[in-house]
Chains A and B, each alone.
Chain A
Amino acid sequence: MIKVRKQYLIIITLFFTSSCYYNWYKPMGYLFTHMPKGGTPGFELGWRHGCESGLGSQFAGALYMNFYTWRRDTDLVVSNPDYNKIRKKYRKELGKVNWNNIQEVKKNLSDYNSIFWGAHAFCRHSVLGMLNTAEMDPALPGDERYNPAAHSIGNVWKMTGKGDTRIGTGFW
């Protein structure tokens, strides 16, 4: 009996760990699963940095700002980048880049730059849209940072808040 339980435990753990993705433990971490596949390492790094920066903005509120922050790396976007520094800094993320091929390196940095703001907007708007759906608006200066009593977790499944795109609402 104990043996069976152990097997179950292993299977469940396997299921849990196999579904892990980048930032899976953070709020709205599932947004990172939206990152398109097939991009260069620079593209992927730019997308992740952009998304994290978007989620760490005031639009998401104080809770999210505890988990995410501004990530745009100036080392990667300056006009005269220090390639050695970048290579050491992102040994894992940019590990597949052929650093002997300057064109490839430049392409990766360009991709980083190009996708950053798109991913930033996507994640910032997504979290704002989800909060708005739950009838939560970003706090303005002077507002209390977060009032749990004013909200319900179930609000995110509301059909009538912002984001109501059903037929008859003007969307169609």
Chain B
Amino acid sequence: MKKKLILTIFFLILTSCRMVGDSGMAMYAGVKFKIPPGTPAFRKGYEDGCKTAIYTRGNILYRTFYKYQFDPKMIGNPEYRLGHSRAYGYCFPTVGSAVTGPQSSFDRFINPYGYDSTFNAGNINNTWGGAFNGTMGDSITGNGFNGIFDVLQKGGSGTGESALGGNPLWAGGSRGQFLGW
């Protein structure tokens, strides 16, 4: 019984290891990249194009498994060329977006372009030179992002009364509610 179970599991694992040509199936087991439906020439081009893209953006490990692929005999076939270029265009940024930056944890998808570990929510008021509480608002009345709306609230001088009577961006605060309500 145990042997049968092991054999079944082993079989299932093995069947997903092979190169799959069916449409919608992964190029390799577990990989996100799928070959879309199309003519055999298109799908061959797609497979070759994607492998080429993975080589260009993959690290040294992946460069041992992938390489440039283009069948010179198919150069006159527009479907093959279309599949190749489409796959290159799709797989290239897909690999690139997932591999940018030093983060390699399982929650990487939250920050696909990398994660700045020195940044935390508490910095929001003074980050980027004070975008929300500094330079952006300084040109008007100071006090950061909020200051932009002071023009609407307090007039150009920054001291008068507002046309709206309140901050149009958010409700609450000391000067009234959203749009003055």
Contact = CB atoms under 8 A, between A and B. Distances in A.
A126 B62 CA distance: 12
Determine the interface band of chain A, counting residues with CB < 8 A from chain B: 35 or more
Interface of B: 30-32, 52-62, 67-73, 75, 81, 84-85, 88, 92, 95-106, 108-109, 112
Contact of A171 (B69, B70, B85, B98): B98
A165 B58 contact: yes
B6 to A, nearest CB: 24
A129 B58 contact: yes
Contacts of A168: 104-106, 108
Contacts of A147: none
Contact of A165 (B59, B75, B84, B106): B59
Contacts of A69: none
A70 interface: no
A165 B61 contact: yes
Nearest to B49: A118
Given A40-B72, A118-B84, A171 B32 contact: yes
24 contacts: A34-B67, A36-B70, A36-B72, A37-B72, A111-B72, A111-B75, A114-B75, A121-B88, A125-B57, A125-B92, A126-B56, A129-B58, A158-B59, A160-B102, A161-B59, A162-B57, A163-B57, A165-B61, A169-B98, A169-B103, A170-B99, A170-B109, A171-B98, A172-B32
